[in-house]
Amino acid sequence: MTLYFVQRLAAVAGVITLMSVLVFLATHALPATIAEVMLGQYATPETVAALETKLGLTRPLLTQYWEWASGVLHGDLGRSLVMEVPIVPVLWTALGRSAVLGATAMTVVSVLGIALGVVAAVRHGRVIDHLASGFTIVGLSVPEFFWGLLLILLFGSYLRLLPTSGYGTLDKGAGSYVAHLVLPVATLAIGLLAHVARLTRSSMLEALDTAYVKAARARGLPEWAVVTRHALRNALLPTITVLAQDIGFLIGGIVAVETIFAYPGIGRLLVYALERHDLPLMQAAILVLTAVQCLANLAADLLYALFNPQIRYGRAVA
């Protein structure tokens, strides 16, 4: 278990390092230089040279990377070119807001998705199963931003029940804070809900068909006990992995959802940086989001190991 943990931790460190190199190189190795991109149509050889000197882009690549990376390791992500402030506090605030959004969505997804999957599996072939299957196909096929728009249309324009954009700060009251979260969370959750429900359903179907479930039924245990204590406990193992994978989708989804609902989180910050060619801010946002995903993958692997006796007792170290 310890060896496994160390291996996984090393892999995570490797991926983050590699992404930092990629993020760094992407801004240097491309045909147009950063200075040209930033200056746009005002790029002349003189202005480009001046800006490159100002940004320190004329020094060797390795020196630049080293300076940037050691800054990152010391918790210094540089200064935003557009906002002209240090990036860390800005990014930290945005990340916190996104974390609230993401964590709420994940909670909704875990609870409802697993419940929906279990019900669909138990009622296999009945109306509710078909309804759930239909929902999963539609939920997976319609992108978040279109769901978001439909929800805005329904709850914002027609019913006028909920705010459709912005962020409710806590000092304006908990009601406003929660109300501003409802639509973004719902939008984020729909697609993932479908994904989790679908997977839980298929692993539940498999579990319900096993010998130990038949044995439990044969012993005359009540059906709810068979379903929850025997089948579900085993069916949940793959679901854990999928939930972690979904954090990857969630990160993609957060970028779109925060844009639609004008929610000032890290996704919107990234779009802001991309639109304005604010490279340090863009690098920082991408790096932080990658790190979040890597840590989520790590957490999933560890949870999986914790729940899977084969790995727990060191028989299969992957």
Among 116, 226, 289, 305, binds other proteins (CB under 8 A): 289
Residues between 28 and 47 that touch other proteins (CB under 8 A): 30-32, 34, 37
Our finding on whether 314 is near other proteins (CB under 8 A) is no
Among 142, 162, 179, 237, binds other proteins (CB under 8 A): 142
Our finding on whether 215 is near other proteins (CB under 8 A) is no
Tell me phi and psi for residue 79, to 5 degrees.
-110, 145
Among 80, 203, 239, 293, binds other proteins (CB under 8 A): 293
**Tokens 């002349």 -> residue:** 44
Our finding on whether 103 is near other proteins (CB under 8 A) is no
d(CA 247, CA 249): 5
Our finding on whether 121 is near other proteins (CB under 8 A) is no
3-state secondary structure the chain: CHHHHHHHHHHHHHHHHHHHHHHHHHCCCCCCCHHHHHHHHHCCHHHHHHHHHHHCCCCCHHHHHHHHHHHHHCCCCCECCCCCCEHHHHHHHHHHHHHHHHHHHHHHHHHHHHHHHHHHHHCCCCHHHHHHHHHHHHHHHCCHHHHHHHHHHHHHHHCCCCCCCCCCCHHHCHHHHHHHHHHHHHHHHHHHHHHHHHHHHHHHHHHHCCHHHHHHHHCCCCHHHHHHHHHHHHHHHHHHHHHHHHHHHHHHHHHHHHHHCCCCCHHHHHHHHHHCCCHHHHHHHHHHHHHHHHHHHHHHHHHHHHHCHHHHCCCCCC
Cβ at position 174, least distance to other proteins in Å: 27
Our finding on whether 18 is near other proteins (CB under 8 A) is yes
Our finding on whether 98 is near other proteins (CB under 8 A) is no
Residues between 254 and 273 that touch other proteins (CB under 8 A): 255-256, 259-260, 270-271
d(CA 38, CA 277): 6
Our finding on whether 200 is near other proteins (CB under 8 A) is no
Residues between 222 and 251 that touch other proteins (CB under 8 A): 248, 251
Q: Which is nearer to other proteins, 23 or 114 (CB)?
A: 23
- The distance from CA 86 to its chain's CA centroid, rounded to whole angstroms, is 25
3-state secondary structure of 291: helix
Cβ at position 251, least distance to other proteins in Å: 4
Cβ at position 56, least distance to other proteins in Å: 17
Cβ at position 302, least distance to other proteins in Å: 15
Q: Which is nearer to other proteins, 162 or 271 (CB)?
A: 271
Our finding on whether 252 is near other proteins (CB under 8 A) is yes
Identify which range of 55-63, 112-120, 231-239, 291-299 contacts other proteins by CB under 8 A.
291-299
Our finding on whether 317 is near other proteins (CB under 8 A) is no
d(CA 84, CA 93): 16
Identify which range of 48-56, 168-176, 232-240, 279-287 contacts other proteins by CB under 8 A.
279-287
State the residues that interact with other proteins by CB under 8 A: 11, 14-15, 18-19, 22-23, 26-27, 30-32, 34, 37, 137-138, 140-146, 149-150, 152-153, 156-157, 206, 248, 251-252, 255-256, 259-260, 270-271, 274-275, 277, 279, 282, 286, 289-290, 293-294, 297
